[in-house]
Homo-oligomer: A and B are copies of this chain.
């Protein structure tokens, strides 16, 4: 970390944690204030995530709700849940008053149902309360669940000067003004303006004459992943959300999309590694076991399947023991090829660049697998031939390898495409699922073809 950026490069050290713990223990509120006031709320949240519950609640109650609201927003979900349990409905409502509607609704949605109503009833700002209630009604995976009600809205009949005057009023409650949305008398979204456009325009101009009518927007029921795709494709920093009559309901900002993209990537990565989503390395051993054991169990069942197949071929063993020694190789190759193929498809589906028909995709994967398979099989053929001295055995194993690789590639390609068609997240097809099924198919095909070639 370079010296020049020291004032923003916050570093969470053991020393700092100890210092905070010490100050809490000695109830040195003034010193705590002095220390924490210099930090960004996201940094304070990181500190709180390291403290125990009592200490965290102590700090939340110490600092004023303008900052603590933001801290709460940034806390680990598990820690937030515990902290909120220690606060009264009234105290939570006070924090909620300080937050934008989208963050407020997200936090309330995490509370148990009966507490939700209690907290909402304690919110004093009537408009804020109604807006939060509206947002809570949307599914969290839709544009409605992600949007905030805070936005700057002007009517197309206003003048630039009048507009600037009114914006001053609206803008004070909007943290960041990305765009000014232009609506007609019926509240229907008709266009947008940037603050820059307003500043550059002349005072007496009518909004109707200067607004840009080519405005991007999303439907309130649109899937968040689709919203993320649209915003990143068109480089949008905010997008208005409308209902089926094109009435302006809210706006989504790019920082929320950054979070969606990160969650999405983390989830896919974990699924590919055989971890049920939503754990991180600091979770408890029990939580991690719950996320990992089911996939390992799947692997165990697959392994037992492989055992049964091999046992079924056990009478071949005396003459061709060498076949059995290559089963880990066959299983590994089938697994690796399957994971590669499925990963490419899953990623392509996520980025919307899987074009063309399923058939042409399968033919391409078959050619690709055949090419890889033949190269690898040639190498294996030479190895077996030289070390074992039997060209027939070498041929049997190598030909099997090629077929196994082709089948593994086809399964890896077909399964995620199939799941996607059925509306199931194709990412679950990567990782243990594909390796396990390919292990079994691979070993079965391998013995079957080898037996055929060796004439046993």
Give the B-binding residues of A (Cβ under 8 A): 2, 4-5, 8-9, 12, 40, 42, 50, 164, 167-168, 171-172, 174, 176-177, 194-196, 199-200, 216-219, 221-222, 230, 232-235, 237, 242-244, 246, 253-255, 257-259, 261-262, 265-266, 268-270, 272-275, 279-282, 285, 288-289, 292-293, 295-297, 299-300, 302-304, 306-307, 310-311, 314, 317, 321-322, 324-333, 335-337, 339-340, 342-345, 347-348, 351, 353-355, 361, 364, 367-368, 371-372, 375-376, 379-380, 383, 430-432, 435-436, 439, 443
Contact = CB atoms under 8 A, between A and B. Distances in A.
Nearest to A230: B8
B269 A347 contact: yes
B219 A199 contact: no
Most chain B CB within a 10 A radius of its CB, from A167, A232, A330: A232
Contacts of A333: 296, 299-300, 303
Contacts of A335: 332, 335, 435
Contact of A431 (B232, B306, B339, B376): B339
A269 B270 contact: no
A298 to B, nearest CB: 9
A325 B316 CA distance: 13
A50 to B, nearest CB: 8
Contacts of A430: 273
Nearest to A307: B325
B343 A326 contact: no
Contacts of A303: 326, 328-330, 332-333
19 contacts: A2-B222, A4-B219, A4-B242, A5-B219, A40-B234, A177-B195, A232-B259, A235-B255, A261-B265, A273-B430, A281-B344, A303-B333, A306-B325, A314-B321, A317-B317, A324-B325, A328-B328, A335-B435, A336-B435
Given A300-B376, A343-B273, A222 B5 contact: yes
Contacts of A306: 325, 328-329, 332
A288 B435 CA distance: 20
Contact of A280 (B42, B337, B348): B348
A4 B322 CA distance: 64
Contacts of A246: 4
A274 B340 contact: yes
B307 A275 contact: no
Contact of A379 (B289, B300, B361, B443): B300
Contacts of A266: 347, 351
A372 to B, nearest CB: 5
B280 A347 contact: yes
A285 B235 CA distance: 31
Given A269-B269, A270-B343, A289 B371 contact: yes
A443 to B, nearest CB: 6
A199 to B, nearest CB: 6
A292 B328 contact: no
B376 A296 contact: yes
Nearest to A379: B300
A336 B296 contact: yes
B371 A218 contact: no
A339 B172 contact: no
Given A332-B436, A340-B273, A379-B300, A255 B254 contact: yes
Nearest to A375: B293
B336 A299 contact: yes
A443 B331 CA distance: 13
Nearest to A371: B289
B348 A275 contact: no
A329 B435 CA distance: 11
A252 to B, nearest CB: 13
Contacts of A269: 265, 268-269, 272, 343, 347
A225 to B, nearest CB: 13
Given A269-B268, A310-B325, A439-B332, A219 B2 contact: yes
Most chain B CB within a 10 A radius of its CB, from A172, A295, A311: A311
Given A272-B273, A300-B333, A307-B329, 14 more contacts: A2-B222, A195-B199, A261-B265, A270-B343, A274-B340, A275-B344, A285-B371, A293-B376, A306-B329, A307-B326, A310-B324, A317-B317, A324-B325, A332-B435
